[in-house]
Amino acid sequence: MMHPVQPPADLSGQIALITGSSRGLGLHLARALGAAGAKVMLCARQADALEQAVAELQAEGIDARWTVADCQQTTGLQHLVSETLQRMGEVDILVNGAGNQVLLSQLLVQHSMRARRAGCIINLACGSARDAVLESTRALAAQWRPEHITVNALDVATSPVPDDELQRLCLLLASAAGQQLTGQCLAVATAGSDDPAQTLSFGVAIPFVDHLGFGLTRFEGGFSELTFTPQAEHLNSFGVTHGGALMTLLDVTMAVAARSVQKEMGALTIEMKTSFMQAARGPLTGKGRLLHRTATLAFTEATVFDAAGRACAHATGTFKYARRLPTGPKSSSAFNAIATDG
């Protein structure tokens, strides 16, 4: 299932527009895109801060320009698109870090991306607008998928966020390696505990999970985190973690996130969609999140990261809550085996 791919490091010849990029996270992502070869256009509301930021990037050898724009106003966004296309050419990558993300995306698709049937939009989801950003990301991704325009989000709601990990994820989504991903929200990996005493209980015996050696380090409030150190028998013919092992890690990570709000219930996998982004080697971490739930269903997502914080695989899944019934040879329950979590 897995094939080794080159790291997402070459964006030569591409044009990237990054909003809210005079400082902070926007500037960090602009620096990463520029270092990978892209020409970058920075925009914010303060000219002096933009001028200083561009000077820093140019001193590092990055082809960077700037323009002032109020991304909260329709006229400001129209001016931004017009100015960028006139000075930089067709835009390949949009990093939406401020303002009306939906309108800016629509304007760029209309005036640049649609005719070329290509483009990458990365929304930053944070603060009070986080849920709305995630919802619009999925809606626009579905709308523009036939036109080969990808729309994804980086979840930066958990603070503080390591800048280098966000840079890696941004580069992944912007590169050829991320073209298969759309409508996804990638969360940033945080280091799990190496202390065995900090390993949590799944709350139920899961023989296959025990066999693979998964560890549980987070199991609360709609979030989960699992650890996995692949052994020789878990590798494929390329010497990297087999896709089947990765899918199991994603499946269990999502099921645990679903169960974290109803630990007395089991979670049956109804549907799972997986994307493999790059070869997975060494100690791995699965991070899962419950996106939405009803009385009987849970909608989840999970990402597997390697030890360097690179995203290797991502999945979304739908699970059905099921009351755990007695198991064993004397049980008459038709649901006496819950494949995902016990």
Please tell me which residue, 231 or 224, carries the higher pLDDT value.
224
pLDDT at 191: 42
* Cβ(107)–Cβ(94) below 8 Å: no
- Dump strand ranges (E) for 143-252: 149-155, 185-187, 215-220, 223-228
Q: 118 falls in which pLDDT band (50, 70, 90)?
A: very high
Report in angstroms the alpha-carbon separations of 125 from 4, 134, 155, 156, 246: 30, 7, 5, 6, 26
- 67-82 tens-digit pLDDT: 999 998 999 999 999 9
Q: 105 falls in which pLDDT band (50, 70, 90)?
A: very high
> Does the pLDDT value for residue 85 go beyond 90?
yes
Q: 223 falls in which pLDDT band (50, 70, 90)?
A: very high
CA 159/CA 164 separation, integer angstroms: 14
Least confident stretch, 91-105, 208-222, 291-305: 208-222
Mean pLDDT of the region 261-273: 90
- 298-310 tens-digit pLDDT: 999 999 998 878 8
CA 23/CA 38 separation, integer angstroms: 18
* Cβ(189)–Cβ(198) below 8 Å: no
Mean pLDDT of the region 100-120: 95
**Pure H helices in the chain:** 24-35, 47-59, 74-88, 101-108, 114-116, 130-144, 163-174, 207-212, 243-259
**Pure H helices in 276-315:** none
- 159-215 tens-digit pLDDT: 445 567 788 889 989 988 778 788 888 765 444 433 333 446 777 778 888 888 898
Q: Which residues pair with 151 in a beta bridge?
A: 121
> Does the pLDDT value for residue 244 go beyond 80?
yes
CA 155/CA 123 separation, integer angstroms: 9
Reading the block at residue 315, the tokens are 């999945």
Q: Which residues does 88 contact at the CB level (< 8 Å), separation at least 6?
A: 15, 17, 39, 41, 65
Reading the block at residue 253, the tokens are 């990570």
> Does the pLDDT value for residue 98 go beyond 90?
no
- C-alpha 221 chain-centroid distance: 19
Mean pLDDT of the region 263-276: 92
* Cβ(216)–Cβ(226) below 8 Å: yes
* Confidence (pTM): 0.60
